[in-house]
Amino acid sequence: MGDAAHADAEARYLSGDLDFEGALREVSGSDIDRSELAQILHGFRKALPAAGPALSDHDARLLTKAGFVTDAASATAVRVDRDIRMRGLVRNSLSIPAAAERLGVTAARVRQRLTDRTLWAFQSGRNRLLPPAQFTDTGAVPYFEQVAPLLAEDLHPLTVQALLTRPQPTLAVDGEPVSIVQWLIGCAGTAAEIEQVTDLVITSEWESA
């Protein structure tokens, strides 16, 4: 969403022409309803007595870099944004049976690949979910099995999703930055091309440690 559209949504909310859920939907780009918002608020209620409005060091650095003051309102905005993105990721990720169907293999084979770390999953309640970035519409992203072992198991799922899907300055096609996923899908799979990705993943993990 562009800055102008963002400002327009804020102005319509402040004037009473747009309710909070509608404003949140327009600004975030996520189709969040009241039941999901209630769950986010419930999460705040449980977290605030212990943590208060304090930000993590990582979030505080992001806000400072962006020019925000790390006050309670900013902290709340960061938490809401993170919760919305996480709920979207959970909604769009594949269960083990769904991943097996996508790959044309058995669920046991998917579990074996998770053990071998040629696929990446995160825990959501009692379920293990596989983020969608590692799949195409008909199977797995080519050469992803060479990247997956480099993804630490304790990385936050949103970190993994962003690393795989955001354009990277060091990966360019026709002068335009592309994501790791786009690069893997479009590359010929040469050793040099794969090394560009693996070097990027290793460096990114080191920076986020």
Our CA dihedral for 66, 68, 70, 72, rounded to 10 degrees, sits at -130
Q: What is the residue-level pLDDT of the chain in tens, covering all 209 positions?
A: 556 766 787 788 778 887 877 777 776 666 666 776 666 666 555 555 444 445 555 666 655 666 555 556 666 667 777 888 888 899 999 999 999 999 999 999 999 999 999 999 999 999 999 999 999 999 999 999 999 999 988 889 999 999 999 999 999 998 999 999 999 999 989 999 999 999 999 888 555 54
Tell me, yes or no, if the pTM score tops 0.85: no
CA 84 – CA 101 distance, rounded (Å): 27
58: number of Cβ within 10 Å: 12
Residue ranges covered by each domain of the chain:
1-31, 33-92, 93-208
The strand ranges marked E within 48-195 are 122-124, 127-129, 168-173, 176-178
Which of 83, 98, 60 is CA-nearest to residue 157?
83
